[in-house]
Amino acid sequence: MDMDFKRLIDLYGQPGARDEFQNVCYTMLQRKFNENVHKMRENPGDEGIDIYVGDFSQPIDVYQCKFLLNDLKYQQINNSFEKAITNTNYKIKSWTLMIPKDMDIKERTKWTSWKKERETKYNIKINLFDQSLIIDNLKKHNIYDEVFKITERILLQQIHQKIESAMPAHKKHISFILQKTSNYLSLRITVFKDLYFNSYDVKSFFRQNQISSFHEMFQNADTKSKFLFDEIDNLIKKIEEDDYQLAYMCRQFIYMEKIYIDQIEDDLHYSDEYLLNLKSYVFQVSLQKIIWSLEQEAHSIRQYLSDTETPNSEVNAISEFDWRDTIITYKDRSDILKLLAIHVISLNHKFSNESFEIFYNKADKLALNFGLFLDSSIIRSSKTPYPTSISELIQYVKYNHTKINEVGEFVFHTHSCNVICLEELDTKAIDKLHKLKNAGNIKYHYFINENRVDKFKAKLPSDKEEFVKIMTLNDYSNLIQTHQEQIETLLKYPSEQLSDKLLSGVMYDGSLFTSNDNGFVIRKNKSLQ
């Protein structure tokens, strides 16, 4: 069975998957046409072109890449097409849409109609590169394995097929090798997490740990993990006595795995001078990406070790470095508080360092009293001042959870905040909230009626819609059973302290303050800390 392009999200996380899809299309077109294939750099826009083949002195072939895994967004497609067809800097010979999905009959009918209408109007050829056609070309040009990074997975499958058919006694040895590889990934993740949570002052972190450089830090980590590879090597030598080919395949797997891990960590393969002078936000984002990718690889190995398919692997792989936003669906409003209770309890159980801002419906009178079980300082509850004063909510979130400005006088929070909205917001408000993610560790959680999910997803920024996870009451069934007593207590003893005021401003010394009438937060300028 072929991989599909959802694999890119597993490999690169949500923000990187769209860019990587464009890179895949570019590489495939390069191999297909050999020369005259170009990417268009955004400055400030892409002029309606992602990739083109040809030269501007003559009509060109335009390729537009849209990372749309679910519904086709014709507003996006129209905007890109109109930009290209009306641009005076070049003339178009053909226009091709590249998407990471195959159409059903309804979608194909609509696409055919859209295509014919514009071909007739503009007298150009319009083509479609869907998932199947792109994958066929990737295979034809021998880049399929490289794109989906499945060489090591294929090798693992070959190893298991071999031991099942010829040398079943070696099955426990292969499991041992995979377990040691998983242990190595865990050690690497710990190193990068320690660095991430001390990224405000790396030099102080180095002094405390008697480290003089990044090189020394990674060298120390390699020394600690060397025994793992010594154990693997000794075991492979034993396998070699019985089956040289199997031992060779095992060595290949370890070699490729180490190369892949090095590629993941490539963002930090620079000099100390360069890394220590990076803006804190850029440095932290690089660390986030590395940790997320290492955790995904560790998860895939553990899943392979279990030798069973995990139905909810996407949910099981969630970590504090998973920056996807969440839509929690409910059938009627009576479900909301139970879902809210288990959602917050489960997140806090997994990630105790994260905080929560819960914005209830404007008509709500009571809030869940999470202080009965959790640290009340990490959970704040307010009414949503919607629609008349939504700017107060946006300012409140901005002053609490972002670095405020490009200079970064107010530090970037390493631990993320979960902003939970029980009121459905409009497109303009959602767009403003999502812009804050560029300057803060914020995850958004939207509680939406199950009948309105598709309409709500259409409100999300076009580049974010694919990067959400959708949770239903069924997804929480086991957790509800586990935490039944806590949920019942929260529902039975609600709190009346539900603020309808959100205040934020700047103090005389330049510090920022926010308040929801039940408490306040003051953030000092770094120079005052």
* pLDDT 10s digits, 87-136: 888 999 999 999 999 998 999 999 999 999 999 999 999 999 999 999 98
Q: Does residue 166 sit in the same domain as residue 292?
A: yes
The distance in angstroms from the start CA to the end CA of the chain is 57
pLDDT at 517 over 90: no
Q: Does residue 296 sit in the same domain as residue 245?
A: yes
Let me know if residue 350 belongs to a domain: yes
Q: Does residue 283 sit in the same domain as residue 396?
A: no
* DSSP β-ladder status, 512-515 and 520-523: antiparallel
- Main-chain phi, psi angles of 134, to 5 degrees: -65, -45
Let me know if residue 493 belongs to a domain: yes
Q: Does residue 295 sit in the same domain as residue 429?
A: no
Picking from 117, 147, 177, the residue at the C-terminal end of a domain is: 147
Let me know if residue 529 belongs to a domain: no
CATH of the domain at 143: 3.40.1350
Q: Of all residues in the chain, what percent are helix, strand and coil, respectively (each to 5)?
A: 55, 15, 30
d(C-alpha 109, C-alpha 103), whole Å: 9
Q: Check residue 46 and give its pLDDT.
A: 58
Q: Does residue 283 sit in the same domain as residue 154?
A: yes
Q: What is the rounded average pLDDT of the residues 398-406?
A: 74
pLDDT digits (tens, 9 = 90+) for 165-221: 656 677 888 888 888 888 899 899 999 988 888 887 788 888 888 988 888 888 888
Let me know if residue 344 belongs to a domain: yes
pLDDT digits (tens, 9 = 90+) for 142-161: 888 778 776 666 667 767 77
Q: Does residue 135 sit in the same domain as residue 160?
A: no
d(C-alpha 357, C-alpha 338), whole Å: 17
Q: Can you give the residue range of the structural domain that contains 224?
A: 150-318
Let me know if residue 65 belongs to a domain: yes
Q: Does residue 115 sit in the same domain as residue 191?
A: no
DSSP 1-47: ----TTHHHHHHHHHHHHHHHHHHHHHHHHHHH-SSEEE---SSS-T
Pairwise pLDDT comparison (409 vs 294), residue with the higher score: 294
Q: How many domains does the chain have?
A: 3
Report whether 47 contacts 87 (CB < 8 A): yes
Let me know if residue 21 belongs to a domain: yes
Q: Check residue 411 and give its pLDDT.
A: 61
* Average pLDDT in the chain: 83
Q: Does residue 141 sit in the same domain as residue 166?
A: no
Q: Does residue 400 sit in the same domain as residue 516?
A: yes
Q: Does residue 61 sit in the same domain as residue 187?
A: no
Picking from 128, 147, 166, the residue at the C-terminal end of a domain is: 147
Task: Give, for 330, the enclosing helix (H) or strand (E).
Answer: strand 325-330
Q: Check residue 296 and give its pLDDT.
A: 80
Let me know if residue 405 belongs to a domain: yes
Q: Does residue 158 sit in the same domain as residue 97?
A: no
Q: Check residue 409 and give its pLDDT.
A: 56
Picking from 86, 116, 147, the residue at the C-terminal end of a domain is: 147
d(C-alpha 466, C-alpha 327), whole Å: 12
d(C-alpha 85, C-alpha 119), whole Å: 11
Q: Does residue 171 sit in the same domain as residue 134?
A: no
pLDDT at 313 over 70: no
Let me know if residue 1 belongs to a domain: no
